[in-house]
Structure 1
């Protein structure tokens, strides 16, 4: 949906879960001296100012990364990407997943970032330029299908829609199945919100029927404000890397302390 702007939600607890797992995975992939391809289907603007009126209005960052950043030691890849972003852009900057990828990947790696919203795309193009990313103003799911299997063949796709378009819940399982068949060695990650009405449940059931070996990690957290529908977030990981289950357990224990 072209009206969605992530600035209102940047740095919230759902971002913490998503970005911690993404950073851990990219760190894992770059331990080998082999190139990596990173594809993101709904990239947003890539860089956020947590003192912007939109971020302050919702208060989600104040109850998210402001609290959770101390969960991560300074050598954790998520904390490293956060520190690198703030060193370059100021103490109130927050990296979206494109900048987390940009800071953790190397010159030998490839970044493909998709964003349809015209203003968000322009901001992303500027923010991602230092990392040599290819930035597309195209439908991200269609672009991922056209890129995959990519060269280099090692790597991952992050699918992170806004879910403001209800058909996303119906479309995504089909696309995940196609991607998994086309790129059977690729790591395919899907983030989703956990809402009070449980809209994610049929989608998740369909994905697990297609890929029963996938790893699912869900966290719960208190609603940020009265009437807020999101009560948690989840990540489905196809071809999860060795060792990530320990990271998911560590994150789960940290999120449990919030309730």
Structure 2
């Protein structure tokens, strides 16, 4: 969706959930000295300034990472990625998932990042340039379908759309079915918002029926402000790495404390 700007929402509680799960999976994958592929279909700009006018307007980061960073110990892949990005770009920055992946992956790994929005794509190019990273100004699903199965075959895909197009709830499971058939060993992660009217439920039932061994992990949290529709965050993970379900239980306890 070309109108969507994540700068208003970077570092919120949904980002904390999504990025903690992502970082944990990447941390597990990099324990083995084998290269892997990382694919992201809706990458955004990659780096956000939490002192920007957009972030200050919503205050979502103040209720998110700024409030809960102490949930994560020094050995947490999420905190390691956060600290690595801030040491390079400044203490008031927050990494989007492309920079979290870059912080945790190695020069021998391959990253493929798609972002269609012209300004966001340009910013992503500045933030995420690296020899092992290819950035596409292209529809993310077109990119992913053209790459799968990637080389190396071992790896992870993150699908993180804006969900501003209502038909996404119908079309995205179909895209995932094709990707999972092409890349049957790949970890495929889908993030979705939990809104007060719960439009995700029919989609989730379709996904769970098609992929019964997948991991569904959801957390709830208070709305960011009066009238705000998002009350939680969900991750649907095909081929989840070992231990990710247990890690999700630790997040359950943290979010329950809010």
TM-score bracket for this pair, using the shorter chain length: over 0.9
1:219 maps to 219
How far did 1:68 drift?
A: 1.3
Q: Given the alignment of the two structures, is residue 194 of structure 1 paired with residue 194 of structure 2, yes or no? A: yes
How far did 1:58 drift?
A: 0.4
Give the TM-score of the pair, scaled to structure 1. 0.99
Paired residue secondary structure (1:62): helix
1:117 maps to 117
1:30 maps to 30
How far did 1:141 drift?
A: 1.1
Question: In structure 1, how many angstroms separate the alpha carbons of the residues matched to 2:56 and 2:81?
Answer: 22
1:254 maps to 254
What does 1:92-241 correspond to in 2, within 5 Å?
A: 92-130=92-130, 132-241=132-241
Gaps of 5+ in 1: none
Paired residue secondary structure (2:185): coil
Q: Which runs of 4+ in 1 moved over 2 A?
A: none
Question: In structure 2, how many angstroms separate the alpha carbons of the residues matched to 1:63 and 1:85?
Answer: 20
Question: In structure 1, how many angstroms separate the alpha carbons of the residues matched to 2:172 and 2:209?
Answer: 13
Aligned-residue CA RMSD in angstroms? Answer: 0.7
Give the TM-score of the pair, scaled to structure 2. 0.99
How far did 1:190 drift?
A: 0.2
How far did 1:132 drift?
A: 3.3
How far did 1:75 drift?
A: 1.5
Name the count of aligned residue pairs.
258
Gaps of 5+ in 2: none
Question: In structure 2, how many angstroms separate the alpha carbons of the residues matched to 1:94 and 1:131?
Answer: 22
Whether the 8 Å contact between 1:50 and 1:94 is mirrored in structure 2 is yes
1:153-201 CA-to-partner distances (Å, cap 9, x unmatched) read: 0001000000001111111110111011100000000000000111101
2:8 maps to 8
